């Protein structure tokens, strides 16, 4: 130890400084305390122990969750689940053909009603334009009305002759387009495209343009997934899945409203639910 007065080095057991005579206070080391009292001095704080292991975390690490996948509905039992695989023969029910013909007759009737209405409307034009005489107005009215009726007939004939094909969904795309309407209001439209690889070879595309707020129930972008095997029924413009075990609902082939798979008949229109 050293003298606090002159700083000279002294023996550890000296009581007075040999240089200046300053009274020294002997240091009390743990060994001296142990010799004097017989008990080791208490430590007020335990020294930190280094074990080499990383400190324990008080919080559990965050768990990584996967995106939920489509699962079979809770009400579907295993024996019933196996029955949801395959294409349905209910698509050949006479009710679908009868309703297709009924809708076609209704469209033709509406076309025949609108034909004279369009002709009469064009007869008013000569009162506002001297260059538009009555014979010309009559001819233009017949042409416009005839085009509408012809479009109805051609569409019905095309639908009646549409073919059925099978394929697999290989791609889905959605293009968002922002535009303005006539009043300058912003509007958004969605161009949906689904690509199918045909079982007979080649590809087909289904394109639909839907505006914001008009997605409705008949939305194939939600119903169909990449990898789904489908059969397209051309006369009904209906896409049927081969595997329905992951679905709780299917769209009605007649009214396009989604129907619970537990139902055999659509509660909205009474048509059979397309399931095996």
Name the 3-class secondary structure at 159. helix
Quick one: pLDDT at residue 228?
A: 95
User: CB–CB of 134/126 below 8 Å?
Assistant: yes
Contact 242, 86 (CB under 8 A): yes
- The pLDDT assigned to 222 comes to 82
What class is the 163-260 domain? Answer: mainly beta
CB 275 within 8 A of CB 84: yes
Written as six digits, the tokens of 240 are 């049927």
Q: Tell me, what DSSP letter sits at residue 265?
A: B
Does residue 133 contact residue 126 with C-beta atoms inside 8 Å? yes
Cα 107 to its chain centre, rounded Å, is 36
CA atoms within 13 A on the CB side of 274: 29
Mean of per-residue pLDDT scores for the chain: 76
Q: What is the pLDDT of residues 64-76, one digit of tens each?
A: 333 333 344 444 4
Using alpha carbons only, give the angle 47, 52, 58 rounded to the nearest 5 degrees: 80
Cα 170 to Cα 160: distance, rounded to the nearest angstrom: 28
For residue range 22-39, what is the model confidence (pLDDT) as tens digits? 676 655 444 444 444 454
Q: Who has greater pLDDT, 195 or 35?
A: 195
Q: What is the pLDDT of residue 212?
A: 63
Beta strands in 199-257 (DSSP E): 203-211, 229-233, 238-241, 249-251
Say what the pTM is: 0.58
Share of the chain above pLDDT 90, in %: 17
**pLDDT 10s digits, 139-167:** 888 888 888 888 888 877 777 778 899 99
């Amino acid at each position: 130890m050293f003298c606090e007065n002159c700083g000279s080095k002294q023996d550890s057991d000296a009581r007075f400084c040999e240089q200046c005579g300053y009274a020294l206070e002997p240091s009390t080391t743990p060994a001296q305390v142990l010799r004097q009292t017989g008990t080791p001095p208490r430590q007020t704080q335990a020294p930190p122990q280094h074990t080499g292991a990383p400190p324990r975390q008080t919080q559990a690490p965050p768990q990584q969750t996967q995106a939920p996948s489509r699962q079979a509905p809770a009400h579907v039992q295993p024996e019933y689940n196996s029955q949801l695989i395959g294409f349905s023969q209910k698509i050949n029910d006479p009710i679908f053909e009868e309703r297709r013909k009924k809708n076609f007759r209704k469209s033709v009737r509406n076309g025949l009603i609108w034909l004279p209405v369009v002709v009469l409307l064009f007869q008013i034009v000569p009162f506002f334009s001297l260059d538009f005489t009555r014979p010309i107005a009559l001819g233009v009215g017949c042409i416009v009305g005839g085009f509408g009726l012809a479009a109805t007939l051609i569409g019905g004939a095309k639908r009646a002759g549409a073919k059925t094909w099978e394929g697999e969904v290989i791609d889905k795309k959605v293009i968002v387009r922002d535009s303005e309407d006539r009043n300058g209001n912003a509007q958004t439209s969605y161009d949906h495209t689904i690509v199918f690889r045909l079982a007979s070879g080649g590809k087909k595309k289904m394109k639909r343009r839907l505006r914001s707020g008009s997605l409705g129930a008949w939305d194939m972008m939600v119903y169909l997934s990449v990898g789904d095997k489908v059969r397209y029924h051309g006369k009904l413009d209906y896409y049927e899945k081969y595997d329905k075990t992951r679905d709780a609902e299917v769209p009605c082939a007649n009214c396009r409203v989604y129907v619970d798979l537990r139902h055999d008949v659509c509660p909205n229109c009474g048509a059979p639910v397309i399931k095996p």
